[in-house]
Structure 1
Amino acid sequence: MRKLLIADDEKIIREGIAKLIQASSLPVTIVGQAANGRQALEMMQSTRPDLVIIDITMPAITGLDVIEQSKDFLPSSKFIIVSGHDSFPFAQKAIELGAFHYLLKPIKRSQLLSVVEHALETLEKKEEVIVSTDTDITSVSDATNGTVCEKVSAYINDHHCDSNMSLNFVADKFHISQSYLTRIIKKSTNLSFTEYLNKLRIQQAIFLLSSRENLLIAQIAELVGYSSQHYFSRVFKNHTGVSPVEYRNMRG
C-alpha cells in the first residue's frame, strides 16, 4: 500500500478527499491530514508519504513552498496540487517544481481518482526502471555505476517537463560524459535520450489533454517542456498518429 497525505486549510475539502480515496479501491492508505503548510511539512517528515494532495494557497506556507522545501527529504514523492485558482502561472510553477498534476476546485470524483491512479502507476514504473538499472548496469561498466544510473533515471523522470532538460544539461549535472549518459539511457530504456524524454513529455501531455480541457494547446506544450507549439505538435503526432487538437476532439 502507498502512503498518502492530504493538506488543505478547508476541513470539508480534506475530509471530502479522504472519503473519496477511502471509498475507492486504490491501493493507498491515508497517513495524515494537514490544515496548513507548516503542519504538512511536519507530517511529511514523520510519515514519508509516497503521494501528497495539497492545496496551493494555505496559511503560513503555500503548497508550492511545501513542495520546494520537501525535495531534500522526499525526492521521489508525487505531489497533486488542488486549487480554486485557474492560474496558468501557478500551474507553470507547479510543473517547474515537479508537481505531478494541478486540479481545480470543485474537484470531480472521477478526475481525482484518475489522477491518483496515474500517479501510482508512475511510481511503479519509476521503481521498475530503477530495479532494471541496478540489475543490468554491470554490463555497461561496473556495479558502482548502478547508483549513477539510478539517480539519472530518477532525475529525468522527475524533471522531464523542465524546458532546460537536454543531454548536455543532464551530463553536466551528474559530471558524466554525454556518450556515457547516452549508453546508460539506451541500456535501461532501449531508447535514445531524446526519444525517452519525448516519450515522458508526450505521456504527460496526453494526460493534460484528457483532464484539463481549459488549457490551450500552447499552454500544454509549455507545461510539458516544449518552447515551440509547432514542434510539440509534430512530436505528439509522431508518437500518437494524431495532432494534439485531434486527440482532444477524439476524447471529447
Structure 2
Amino acid sequence: MNTKTILIVDDEQTTRQGLKKTLEIWSNGRYEILSAADGPEADELFNKTKIHLLITDIYMPEMDGLKLLKNLKDKGHKPVVMIVSGYPDFEYAQEAIRLGVVNYLLKPLSKQKLIEAVEQAMEMEANIERTDYIEKVADQKILRIDGRNDLSKTPIKEALAYVNNNLNKQISLKEVADFVHLNSSYLSVLFKEQTSLTFSEYITRKKLQLAKNLLLTTELPIEEIAHETGYQTAKYFIKLFKEFEGITPSKYRKSSMNESPF
C-alpha cells in the first residue's frame, strides 16, 4: 500500500514548519508530509511525486496560491486542495471554490481545527480515488446485469453465480447448462434474451474485469494474471485484453499506476 502525501505550501517559514510538525505528529507515519516555500518549489514537487492533498497559502511572492492551482490543473494534477490564509478575501474565496478548493481556513487556526479539516479532506480524497478506481475497472454492461433484481431465483441468476465463482477456470456453455439443468441451446437463447449479452461475451467481460482489478491492486506478472482469470496462455489473454481495452495489460497497469485506493 502506497503512503499518501500531503504538501504544505507557505512562504512564512514559521507557519510552514508549524503546520508540518502538527500534521507529522497527527499522522504518526500514515502520511508523508512535505513542504514548499513557494509556488515554483511546489510545482517541482508535483513533477516528482503524486500529491494527494495540497494545503496552500494564497498570498505568496512570484506565484500566488491561485496561480499555482491553475498551473497544476493545466498540467492534469488533481489533488484535493485546502487553503490556509490570513486574509478573508471574498473574491479569492470565490475563485478558490471555482478551482475546486474544498476548504478555506483563516489564520491563525487551532491544531484541532487544522486536523479536523485535514481528516475531512483525506476522506474526500479517498472517496474520489475509490470512485475513479471503480470507473476504471468496472464494466458498465456487467454492472447493469449485476444490479438487476428481476433475475433472482431464475436459471440465469444461477448461471451468473456459477460463472462468477469459477472465473479462474475455463467455463463452457454445456458445463453451466448442466449445472442449471437446461439444454445448452435453450440456455444460450435465454441468457442473451435476459442479459443482452451472449454467454461468451459475459464470461470474457467478467474475466477482464477481474484481470483489471488484479493489474491495479497486485504486482502479479501478466502470465499469472492470465492463469488467475482462466486463460491457458498469456499471449491469448493479452490479445483479448487489447481487443476490449484498446491497450495491453502492461500499458493499462502502467497508465493506472498509483491510482488505486487500495
TM bin, normalised by shorter chain, reads: 0.5 to 0.7
**1:95-144 Cα shifts (integer Å, max 9, x gaps):** 1011121110112111111111111111111222233333242335997x
For residues 45 and 134 of structure 2, the distance between their equivalents in structure 1, rounded to whole angstroms, comes to: 32
1:105 paired residue among 104, 107, 117: 107
**1:29-76 Cα shifts (integer Å, max 9, x gaps):** 11x321111111112221221111111000000000000100133533
**Structure 2 counterpart of 1:117, one-letter code:** E
Q: Provide the aligned C-alpha RMSD in A.
A: 2.2
**Structure 1 counterpart of 2:93, one-letter code:** A
* Contact 2:54 2:80 (8 Å CA) reproduced: yes
TM-score, normalising length from structure 1? 0.52
Q: Does 1:122 align with 2:124?
A: yes
For residues 65 and 58 of structure 1, the distance between their equivalents in structure 2, rounded to whole angstroms, comes to: 10
**Structure 2 counterpart of 1:111, one-letter code:** K
**After the TM superposition, which residues 130-145 of structure 1 pair with which residues of structure 2 at under 5 Å, given as runs?**
130-133=132-135, 134-139=137-142
Q: Does 1:43 align with 2:53?
A: no
Partner of 2:188: none
**Structure 1 counterpart of 2:6, one-letter code:** L
* Contact 2:58 2:85 (8 Å CA) reproduced: yes
For residues 58 and 76 of structure 2, the distance between their equivalents in structure 1, rounded to whole angstroms, comes to: 18
For residues 43 and 131 of structure 1, the distance between their equivalents in structure 2, rounded to whole angstroms, comes to: 24
* Contact 1:6 1:33 (8 Å CA) reproduced: yes
Q: Does 1:29 align with 2:32?
A: yes
Partner of 1:81: 83
Larger Rg: 2
* Contact 1:41 1:70 (8 Å CA) reproduced: yes
For residues 109 and 136 of structure 1, the distance between their equivalents in structure 2, rounded to whole angstroms, comes to: 43
Which stretch has the larger CA shift, 77-86 or 37-46? 37-46
The percent of aligned pairs where both chains have the same amino acid is 34
2:19 paired residue among 14, 17, 21: 17
> Which residues of structure 2 form unaligned runs of 5+?
145-196, 210-262
For residues 74 and 21 of structure 1, the distance between their equivalents in structure 2, rounded to whole angstroms, comes to: 26
Specify the SS of the correspondent of 2:63.
coil
Q: CA deviation at 1:5?
A: 1.1
Task: Figure out how many residues of one structure are paired with residues of the other and give that number.
Answer: 143
Q: Does 1:72 align with 2:71?
A: no
**Structure 1 counterpart of 2:44, one-letter code:** E
Which stretch has the larger CA shift, 133-142 or 12-21? 133-142
**Structure 1 counterpart of 2:19, one-letter code:** I
Query: After TM superposition, where is structure 1 displaced by more than 6 Å over at least 4 residues in a row?
Result: none
Partner of 2:60: 58
For residues 25 and 17 of structure 2, the distance between their equivalents in structure 1, rounded to whole angstroms, comes to: 12
**Structure 1 counterpart of 2:140, one-letter code:** I
For residues 11 and 118 of structure 2, the distance between their equivalents in structure 1, rounded to whole angstroms, comes to: 20
For residues 82 and 53 of structure 1, the distance between their equivalents in structure 2, rounded to whole angstroms, comes to: 7
Partner of 1:172: none
Specify the SS of the correspondent of 1:71.
helix
Distance 1:131 1:38, change over 3 A: closer
For residues 78 and 118 of structure 1, the distance between their equivalents in structure 2, rounded to whole angstroms, comes to: 10
For residues 37 and 76 of structure 1, the distance between their equivalents in structure 2, rounded to whole angstroms, comes to: 16
